[in-house]
Amino acid sequence: MFEMKVITSILFITVLSGCTSQQSAYRAAKGEGSGYKDVALAENHYRVQFKINGPARKAAQKYALVRASELTIAQGYDWFVVENRTLRTLNEPDLFESTPSPIATRNCGLLGCRTQTQLPAQPMDVPDTETFATMEIRMGRGVRPEKESYDAREIWEAHQKENNAQSQ
């Protein structure tokens, strides 16, 4: 009996600790999962992509910028210019999709009638929504150009500061 209580307590604590630990959305993608991927196109020219589950366009764009800044710093550069950017959401829910009309069934017998109303069954194979933010960046050192350029350290430090504030 005592052993069963100990085992139950350990399982309960394990489940609770799993619920309280929150994994950050900013991470390297594993396979086709969410997170960032990048590919070098030239010495200072990269394509960065961030995939996030759901229709979170702003988060995907933000994390793509964070990855671009992290990559820029890692390659020894100071700033980067966004030369091309795309944002796409796959399987986005249709906001104008109509709600199915209820089906009314009327059953009558000797003692009166009874009406039942129910909604028709919804399809269960609705695919998950995925958002992709992709940008091509060119990295540089020294004086930063004004148009579509970003200070890599400034973005990275703001990201670190935001993470520290959320973890407290």
Name the residue ranges covered by the structural domains of the chain: 28-92+127-168
- pLDDT band, very low/low/confident/very high, at 69 (cuts 50, 70, 90): very high
% pLDDT > 90, the chain: 43
pLDDT in tens, 10-48: 444 443 333 333 357 888 889 888 899 999 999 999 999
Burial class (CB in 10 A: 0-12, 13-18, 19+), 25: middle
**Residue range 28-92+127-168, CATH number:** 3.30.1360
Q: What are phi and psi of 9, to 5 degrees?
A: -65, -45
The pTM assigned to this predicted structure is 0.66
